[in-house]
A and B are shown apart, each in its own frame.
Chain A
Amino acid sequence: MKVVRISDDALALACGADDVAAAFEAAGCTVERVSSWGMHWLEPLAEIDGKGFGPLAAGDVAAVLSGTSAKAIGAIEDHPFIARQQRFTFARAGKTRPLSLEDYAAHGGWQGLAKAREIGGAATIAQVTESGLRGRGGAGFPAGIKWNTVAGAVADQKYIVCNADEGDSATFADRMVMEGDPFMLIEGMAIAALAVGALHGYVYIRSEYPHAIAKMEAAVRASAHLVAPFVLEVRVGAGAYVCGEETSLLNSLEGKRGEVRAKPPLPALEGLFGKPTVVNNVLTLAAVPWIMANGAAAYAAVGFGRSKGTMPIQIAGNVKHGGLFEVGFGVTLGELVMTVGGGTASGRPVRAVQVGGPLGAYHPPADFHLPFDYEAFAEAEGLIGHAGITVFDDSADMSAQARFAMNFCAVESCGKCTPCRIGSTRGVELIDRIRARSGRSADKVEALLQMHNARKAERSLGDEIALLEDLCETMKFGSLCALGGFTPYPVLSALRHWPEDFGAPAEREAAV
């Protein structure tokens, strides 16, 4: 009997994988539900004896089985999208059944934890430090240093918290880990727990990911005996984007409003319930088992500059070949968008590429030479964040995107600090006036004699743009966390690279 492998992750399901699986079963095949290869434009993708077929609908099944399908893509492993990658974290993607302990163990699972148990906590931290692994949530803070701080803290209780509140648009690598290879994340957390001396861990998953929640809960139950005495629990977020910020996430776990905390104290010293806490992103923790099993040197051998190892890059938006592309740091943005992604899905020219989610900068094709690296993007006044890439074609209106960024910040602000809470709303108003070219004169209150400092003169477009830049400056340096602090990235980058969308260039220059 033919064995057909089809992914059961949320993306495959959304594209109709269940119907395709049922059609194969009806045709007498055995269907194995595995993780996704990450070639999303081909989902639902069926694999038969290593050969791929996609994107399939139930009606394509007969042609696939008779060998006449036009949707055959040949051997999946040899597909350029896969062959070009260096998969460390996603080494098992497409190959294992997500909740099968047997499959996980057969494909190198638990070796990292065994190694950590063998060499002990201090040596484990040394390995993670040597690997150069940096926090994959966006800040890029060295994981080994964070772990060391927690290990050195003296407390009766310590925690490992996995930040799985993947709210950035264009990111789905955390979801794919949790839905495709949940035991890897559990193993990574168990290694972290062993390294710092924690006995309790939490995975905080956003509520928009019901499939990931179900898989993680099942995986935690199935592997409890393998990670004991470490105890792991899944907690579900409640629709607040800001809870992806680590201190806000800790407040949420404690059952409070997800408001950001001031730092210091660092969560590593006073985190969850005031105890020393490792807060790491899913991808950071998921990289650890590979590092432990294969050695720090093997991981550090890949990469670029101070960005070591691989990054699971997520290519999304208006792109022909979207999906998960894991590769060593240093690949250029242009390669990712044009060579790997194949340009826009609409076939129109690329206008802008947003890197790093809603708080990341918009880059024009002129930035395509940038190597994927924390420092290189910082120098180009951008960030790589959680490595999500959103491609826009030339129909994008960049002042509308800038407005969206400000509005998103206004909707999602936790309200704790003023630059973010009020600045974002003022920013939306300001961009609306710029887009409408309406200008602004003093209102009734500002016109009062008592308001000495209020501006009485009409504001020109140039004045308004200068004001927007000033507001962004205040938000960037005055906000408590990255929500208010990074919202200026998309706004200012849009303004800088596409001034024509914020008023005709001539008009703007004349005004300035």
Chain B
Amino acid sequence: MDNIQQIIATHAGREGPLLPILHDVQAEFGHISEEAIRTIAAALNLSRADVHGVVSFYHDFHEAVEPRAVLKLCRAEACQARGVEALAAGLVDNPRVKVEAIYCLGLCSVGPNAMVGDKVHARLDAAKLGALVEQLA
């Protein structure tokens, strides 16, 4: 748990350090474990329930590692208007890729859009989306 202690130390002295710490832990380990919650709670003088409450509130924090590659497909209104629902319905299930719904990437005039890691993709059609999934698998 040395790494978690290091992460906590990096944010020591900041106001409201919990979210920045959780972001770093999520990025470093791919999830926020029970053990990590204990360590963070002890370091910030919070109860485990407090930290667990925060972890479970936000969509970005996960208590278990996601083994599959993740593709975030925007399902919000602007992408709906540009046909994302038909795309999503036609998508062939790939056991190695998780297609997750996300609500808005802010590229609403050129949808349907998706994000993989920090990379964004616009103007998707069935072929382009299929190719993205293939690449990830």
A contact residues vs B (CB 8 Å cutoff): 10-11, 13-15, 40-41, 43, 166-172, 174-175, 207-211, 233, 235-241, 252-259, 273, 314-319, 322-323, 345, 354, 357-358, 388, 390-393, 396, 401, 404, 408, 412, 414
A-B interface, 10 closest residue pairs, ranked by CB to CB distance from nearest = A322-B109, A255-B18, A239-B59, A316-B108, A169-B76, A238-B58, A317-B81, A14-B122, A14-B120, A238-B60
Instruction: Assess whether B42 is interfacial by the CB under 8 Å rule.
Output: no
CB contact under 8 A between A43 and B103, given known A170-B77, A392-B81: no
Q: CB distance B77 to A169 under 8 Å?
A: yes
- What number of B residues sit within 8 Å (CB to CB) of A? 42
Q: Which residue of B lies closest to A15 (CB)?
A: B122
A396/B102 contact (C-beta < 8 A), A14-B122, A41-B109, A172-B108 known: no
B20 interface hit (Cβ, 8 Å): yes
Give Cα distance in the complex from A322 to B23, angstroms. 34
Query: Considering the complex, which residues of chain B in the window 94-137 have a beta carbon less than 8 Å from any beta carbon of chain A?
Result: 102-111, 113, 115, 118-123
Query: Cβ of B111: which chain A residues have Cβ within 8 Å of it?
Result: 316-317
Name the one of A11, A40, A255, A401 contacting B16, with C-beta atoms under 8 angstroms. Answer: A255
Q: What CA separation (Å) do A80 and B83 show in the bound complex?
A: 28
Known A207-B60, A345-B82; contact A235-B19, beta-carbon cutoff 8 A: yes
Compute how far the CA of A171 lies from the CA of B121 in the bound complex, rounded to whole angstroms: 17
Q: CA of A259 to CA of B53 in the docked complex: distance in angstroms?
A: 11
Query: What are the interface flags for B41-65 relative to A under an 8 Å C-beta threshold, 1 for contact and 0 otherwise?
Result: 0001000000001100111110000
Interface residues of B in 9-61 (CB under 8 A from A): 14-20, 22-23, 44, 53-54, 57-61
Question: Total number of A-B contacts with CB less than 8 angstroms?
Answer: 152
Report the Cα distance A252→B118, complex, angstroms: 22
Cβ-defined contact, B109 with A169, below 8 A: no
Set of chain B residues within 8 Å of A404, measured between Cβ atoms: 77, 80
Does B79 touch A at the CB level, under 8 Å? yes
Taking A14-B120, A236-B19, A255-B16 as contacts, is the C-beta distance between A175 and B106 under 8 angstroms? yes
Give 22 pairs: A residue, B residue, CB < 8 Å, sorted on A: A11-B122, A14-B122, A15-B122, A41-B110, A171-B104, A172-B106, A172-B108, A172-B109, A174-B106, A208-B106, A235-B19, A236-B20, A254-B15, A255-B17, A255-B19, A317-B109, A322-B109, A323-B109, A354-B77, A390-B77, A401-B80, A404-B77
Query: Which residues of chain B are near A167, meaning CB under 8 Å?
Result: 103-104
Chain A residue numbers with a CB within 8 Å of B80 are 401, 404
Residues of B within 8 A of A240 (CB): 57-59
Which one of B17, B19, B81 has the greatest number of beta carbons of chain A within 10 Å? B81
Q: Which of B59, B82, B103 is the one whose CB lies under 8 Å from A408? A: B103
Contact between A401 and B77 (Cβ–Cβ < 8 Å)?
yes
B113 to chain A, nearest CB (A): 6
B78 at the interface (CB under 8 A from A): yes
Among residues of B, the one whose C-beta sits closest to the C-beta of A175 is B106
Chain B: minimal CB distance from A337 (Å): 12
- What is the minimal beta-carbon distance from B50 to any residue of chain A, in angstroms? 8
Known: A317-B111, A354-B77, A391-B81. 9 other contacts (CB 8 A): A14-B122, A169-B76, A211-B118, A238-B23, A314-B109, A317-B78, A317-B82, A317-B108, A392-B81
In contact, A171 and B108 (Cβ under 8 angstroms) = yes
B20, B59, B78, B113: most-surrounded residue (chain A CB, <10 A): B78
Question: B109–A316 contact, CB under 8 A?
Answer: yes
CB contacts (< 8 Å) of A175 on chain B: these are 106
Most A CB contacts (10 A, CB to CB) among B16, B61, B104, B115 go to B104
* B78 close to A170 (CB less than 8 A): yes
Q: Kindly provide the distance from the CB of A316 to the nearest chain B CB, expressed in whole angstroms.
A: 3
Specify which chain B residues have a CB less than 8 angstroms from the CB of A318 in the assembled complex: 81-82
B57-A257 in contact (CB<8A):
yes
Contacts A14-B113, A207-B60; is A390 near B18 (CB within 8 Å)? no
**Chain A residue, CB-CB nearest to B77:** A169
CA distance A412 to B82 in the complex (A): 23
Task: Knowing A40-B109, A257-B54, A317-B77, say if A235 contacts B20 (CB, 8 Å).
Answer: yes
Q: Within 8 Å CB of B106, what residues of A?
A: 10-11, 166, 171-172, 174-175, 208-209
- Verify B61–A238 contact, CB threshold 8 A: yes
What is the CA–CA distance of A131 and B23 in the complex, to the nearest angstrom?
Answer: 40
Q: How far, in angstroms, from A476 to B137 measured CA to CA in the complex?
A: 45
Residues of chain B lying within 8 A (CB to CB) of residue A210: 118
Complex: how many Å from CA A336 to CA B108?
16
Contacts of A14 in B (CB 8 A): 105, 107, 110, 113, 120-123
Interface centre among A14, A314, A315, A401, by most B CB within 10 Å? A14
A174 contact set on B, CB distance < 8 A: 106
In the bound complex, residues from chain A placing their C-beta under 8 Å from that of B104 are 167-169, 171, 208
What is the CA–CA distance of A211 and B102 in the complex, to the nearest angstrom?
Answer: 17
Question: How far is B119's CA from A497's CA once the two chains are assembled, in angstroms?
Answer: 39
| Given A167-B104, A322-B108: A15 touches B123 (CB 8 Å cut-off) | yes
Q: In the complex the two chains form, what is the Cα distance from A10 to B110 in whole Å?
A: 11
Bound CA–CA A315/B61 (angstroms): 32
In the assembled complex, how far is the CB of residue B127 from the closest CB belonging to chain A, in whole angstroms?
A: 15
**Bound complex: CA of A237 vs CA of B107, how far in Å?**
18
User: Is the pair B58, A208 in contact by a Cβ cutoff of 8 Å?
Assistant: no
Contact partners of A322 in chain B: CB under 8 A = 108-110
Q: Which residue of B lies closest to A393 (CB)?
A: B81
B119 contacts across to A, CB distance below 8 A: 13
Residues of A within 8 A of B105 (CB): 10, 14, 208-209
